[in-house]
């Protein structure tokens, strides 16, 4: 098994755990920040487990793959949690209630544009928003994983001595 796959699967398990812990209101912010550290960590793991000869480009590529695997698992878990919360928790009614509580000057532009606010309260909008967020998370995870892998390989290389 390749180092990036191994590190990615370990990261995926941790990302799923973070997504589940994120359901607890106070832990949601903490797990979001820890996920960023996790993406760098899987890049570091990948670079550490790579066979010699190592170079920064291999470390960056492996770290990016591990970060993608990690973020994909966490993103899919968060997507499922969002859909379940929305449908079971009466998401549409709650969103419409919050929309009606907005001041009129914030509600009128929606009506001026002929946008029905119920569109925002649809399950499709919730799924689309989660998918967009997951996609951006994949890009961020790949970048942080690549950075972790490249920096780790660079730090592990012995400096060349000049004669």
Sequence-separated (6 or more) residues with CB below 8 Å from residue 49 = 3, 6, 7
pLDDT of 128 reads 81
In a domain, 25, yes or no: yes
Domain total in the chain: 1
pTM above threshold 0.75 = yes
Number of CB atoms found within 10 A of residue 131's CB: 14
Segment 20-28 mean pLDDT:
88
| pLDDT over 60 (residue 133) | yes
The answer to whether residue 105 is domain-embedded is yes
Instruction: Report if residue 127 sits inside a domain.
Output: yes
Longest Cα–Cα distance of the chain, Å, equals 76
Residue 34 is predicted with a pLDDT of 94
Q: For the chain, how many helices (H) and strands (E)?
A: 6, 0
Range of the structural domain that residue 128 is part of: 3-156
Nearest alpha carbon to residue 147 among 73, 64, 72: 64
Helix axes 3-21, 56-88, angle to 10 degrees: 30
In the predicted model, what is the mean pLDDT of the chain?
A: 87
Residue 147 lies in a domain: yes
Cα–Cα distance for residue pair 54/121, rounded to 1 Å:
50
Q: Is residue 163 part of a domain?
A: no
Q: Is 35 exposed, middle or buried (0-12, 13-18, 19+ CB in 10 A)?
A: buried
Classify residue 9: in a domain, yes or no.
yes
């Amino acid at each position: 098994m390749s180092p990036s796959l191994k590190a990615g699967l370990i990261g995926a398990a941790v990302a799923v755990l973070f997504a589940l812990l994120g359901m607890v209101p106070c832990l949601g912010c903490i797990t979001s920040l820890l996920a960023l550290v996790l993406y760098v960590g899987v890049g570091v793991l990948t670079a550490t487990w790579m066979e010699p000869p190592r170079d920064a480009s291999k470390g960056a590529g492996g770290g990016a793959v591990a970060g993608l695997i990690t973020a994909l698992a966490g993103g899919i878990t968060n997507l499922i949690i969002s859909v379940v919360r929305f449908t079971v928790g009466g998401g549409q009614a709650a969103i419409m209630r919050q929309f009606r509580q907005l001041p009129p000057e914030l509600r009128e532009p929606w009506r001026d544009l002929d946008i029905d606010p119920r569109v925002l309260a649809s399950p499709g909008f919730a799924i689309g928003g989660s998918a967009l967020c997951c996609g951006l998370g994949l890009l961020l995870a790949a970048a942080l994983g690549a950075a972790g892998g490249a920096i780790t390989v660079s730090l592990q290389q012995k400096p060349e001595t000049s004669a």
